[in-house]
Chains A and B, each alone.
Chain A
Amino acid sequence: MPAPDGRDSLTATPSKHNLRWDPVFVHARREAAVIVALFLLFFSYSILTCFFLGYGHTAEDSSSIRLIWGMPAWVFFGIFLPWCGVDLVAVWFCFFFMQDDNLNPPEEDGHAKKLEQSAKETSG
């Protein structure tokens, strides 16, 4: 994987030769990119829908504003529906896309494993 600053990770010169990009960093960055893309999608849809359906009405046609489920049509299509859509997307993102990563630093993990091992030996 190329380094984010454009240099190939193979040509980077870390002080230790067995280093790689941290998987937590890689996964988190990918998830962040997807989130930004989702934001842009819902932002575009909502703003455009609300603008074209909800703005520019004159006083004369105020009595003919269409209601759906009691709310103005632009609110229903521009806010209510995408809100429900985002909740569904959250299900996908949280339960099918986002990775479970170990967030502890390696030394903390090693210490925790030692404690666990010691506990097992004590309990026999």
Chain B
Amino acid sequence: MNRDQAKEVLLRFRSMELDGSDTEMLEALVLCQGDAELKEWFQQQKRFNSSVREALRQIAPPEKLRDDILAGARSKRRDQERTALSKGGNDTTPVLSYSFVRRHREFLALAASIALLLGGIFYWTTRSSEDRSFTGFENRMLRFAIREYRMDILTNDAKAVRQYLAKSGGPSDFPLPASLIATPVLGGAKLSWQNHPVAMICFEAPGTKHTLYLFVTDAKAIPEPPDPRPQPGKFRKLNTVKWSRDGRAFVLAGEVPETVLQDLVR
């Protein structure tokens, strides 16, 4: 084991109680004893680890968290018990019996087919009546951000996000304002709207812990794309700004002041 290898092992030293049986660690500790510079480095590393450990262990959970957990768990438990009762037990709620199903097999099959057909008609009519304007696109993306957003790729590397988007068939070569390029990236995802690919990139809003959501799609895919000049807006708790450039339409949103968004897209 050389000095660099010893350092890599010693970085993760905690105590002899926890690490005393780790042969790699013991070897590194022996090397340390015979090397004054390594010993000094190790002492500082131990102080660093101790400081970080103390800082993290001091974190207090929110005051209401315990009560919220208990209240929520009670509710989940009640739901579970209700479900268990409905499958058998003392509940008197009538349940479809096997003999009933057998006797009325054909009627039930017909009823199921009609239900499926009606469901399919409902789906296609609501889908065709969905707002296909830019406002419709914007609202759909922002609802996604608020309710269910997930990133396909988690990384701080903006280039890696674009490479992922390119590989997934999403927009990837779009221009961004300089201030937004300088903003830390959190990750991204390839989405779809009305069969058009959409890129989502998430950023860390400057000076806060909020996430910024950027949605990008082909401007030709949407009637009446936004102007090249950024326009502010609001959607529920999100402030937004939208603009078009080089054939792409953009929406940037976040729980940050409008001025923050305006500064980022200048």
A and B: partners? no
